[in-house]
Amino acid sequence: MGHPAALGPLGRRLAAAFVAVALVALGSYALLTVLAERAGVGGLARTHRAVTAGAVVSVASNAYRASGGWAGADLGPVRVLADLSSAAARLSDQDGRVLFQTGSARLLTSARGAPVSRPVVVDGAVVGRVRLAFAPDGLTSPERRLRQALSNAAVLGVGVSVAVAVAAALTVSTFVVRPIRRLSAATAALGRGDRSVRVGASAGRGELSELGAVFDDMVTALDEADAARQAMIADVAHELRTPLAILQAETEALVDGVRPATPEALGSVHDETIRLGRIVGDLQALASAEAAGLSLERRRVDLATVAAEAADALAGRFESSGVGLDRRLAPAPVDGDPQRLHQVVVNLLTNAGKFTPEGGTVRLDVRLVGGAAELSVTDSGPGIPADEQGRVFQRFYRGSAGRHTAGTGIGLAVVAQLVHAHGGTVCVTTPAGGGARFTVSLPAATG
């Protein structure tokens, strides 16, 4: 159980709330108990008074009848009944003379004693009157002691209940506050740059455990994003280093007069400048693709039409490289950005054409499969090894076959980003005849 000072403001408020609820419940219970006791005791007292008065009158009338009058009548039983009932009693004859009296005379004449007066009737004639006065609560001594014992037990029970409520409140508050404080400390550490912080299973149970798991997942995602950012910076630096080094060497040679400014030398500088421009353009395309989810201009469009336009735009390049382009396009409406989808098809066709040897064929298919529009590009190139297929969509990854071809390894990363922005999936497989098949699946338009 935590000390109140160690709970913090939230813990103290929770503990106070628990104690307040317990006190309200106990107070309500005590109030109802008191009201019920008063009602019960009042009814019991009234019944007790009526029964006692009737018994005293009956005993007095029997004594009168047995002696033939008040003279010589045995009034001892009247005293016994009055004493047993803790009542003051007075017996008078028909003329008002006091024949017998026991108990407090002041109680008999005071309204505080709730006096009861009953006539003594023998054979239809009033021969006397009995007056009884009881204690204010109308209870006998044993009943009064029992009532006191019950009251003491109730007070003790309330005290014990309050103590238990306080202990339970402090324990529960500690249980609730501890994981929250751990999460707060972990968040503060993360804000200071500590990426190793985790809360783990100690974050509590239920919703608090889920919150701790989400926090840990968030930190892991931040680590992965940071690692990816650093890797991307390293990749960009690596890609830029070679053309920049060549440009620097060529320009220094030209400036120093080591190499004359021939068309060949200027052409080399121009080629490296074009390469730098292509790298920058690819990086810009990748950045645009990663933000595509925020800038897509969606409308209903036929994926087959988009694929046909992209194929038409690349037809000359395929023809000049001696690669055939086989189209099998069926209508497949989707809700998407036509320009972004056009970029997806162009990148896939360009990638396939780059790895397909002269005389080979690239096949472009579009069709509806269930509730999805499916686009696939299949080449007849060397294919992609199974251990590389899971990495082809990473930035700057070119694989074993890509090292001998031009490119920066960004095109397929752009494809993955754009497809995911459209709510679709993209994968690569190896068809039975060899080569590689890239398949894009997008949600088909409805209505």
pLDDT tens per residue across span 234-270: 767 766 777 788 788 888 888 888 778 788 878 878 8
User: What CATH number is attached to the domain comprising 273?
Assistant: 1.10.287.130
In this prediction, residue 56 carries a pLDDT of: 82
- Calculate the alpha carbon distances from 206 to 161, 178, 202 in Å: 28, 14, 12
Do 310 and 349 contact (CB within 8 A), yes or no? yes
| Percentage, residues of the chain above pLDDT 70 | 75
Q: Are residues 126 and 72 both part of a single domain? A: yes
Q: Is 85 exposed, middle or buried (0-12, 13-18, 19+ CB in 10 A)?
A: buried
Please give the pLDDT value at position 144: 63
Look at residue 65 and tell me whether its pLDDT is greater than 70: yes
Residue type, 53: A
Using alpha carbons only, how large is the chain's radius of gyration in Å? 51
pLDDT score for 403: 47
Strands laid side by side in the 437-443 sheet:
324-329, 361-369, 372-378, 437-443, 425-429
Helices and strands: H and E segment counts in the chain: 11, 11
Is the separation of the CB atoms in 97 and 121 below 8 Å?
Answer: no
For the segment 172-198, the average pLDDT, to the nearest whole number, is 77
pLDDT at residue 111 above 60?
Answer: no
Of 256, 287, 318, the one marking the end of a domain is: 287
pLDDT at 397 over 70: no
For residues 217 and 205, is the Cβ–Cβ distance under 8 A? no
- Tell me the residue range of the domain where 349 lies: 295-443
**What pLDDT is recorded for position 113?**
54
**Which strand (E) or helix (H) includes residue 90?**
strand 88-93
Residue type, 247: L
**Torsions phi, psi for 94 (to 5 deg):** -65, -15
Give the residue with greater pLDDT, 353 vs 283. Answer: 353
Q: CA angle, corner 389, sides to 388 and 395, nearest 5?
A: 80
Q: Are residues 188 and 322 in the same domain?
A: no
Residue range 285-320, pLDDT digits in tens: 767 766 655 678 899 999 999 999 999 999 988 999
Among 96-110, 298-312, 324-338, 425-439, name the one with the lowest average pLDDT. Answer: 96-110
Comparing 408 with 262, the larger pLDDT belongs to 262
pLDDT score, position 373: 95
pLDDT bracket for residue 11 (50, 70, 90): low
Is 200 inside a domain boundary?
no
**End position of a domain, from candidates 248, 265, 287:** 287
DSSP calls for 210-261: HHHHHHHHHHHHHHHHHHHHHHHHHHHHHHHHHHHHHHHHHHHHHHHTSS--
Asked whether the CA dihedral 153, 155, 157, 159 is positive or negative, the reply is: negative
> Mean of the pLDDT values across residues 5-33?
66
What total of structural domains would you count in the chain? 3
| Residue 333 domain-assigned (yes or no) | yes
Mean pLDDT (the chain) is: 78
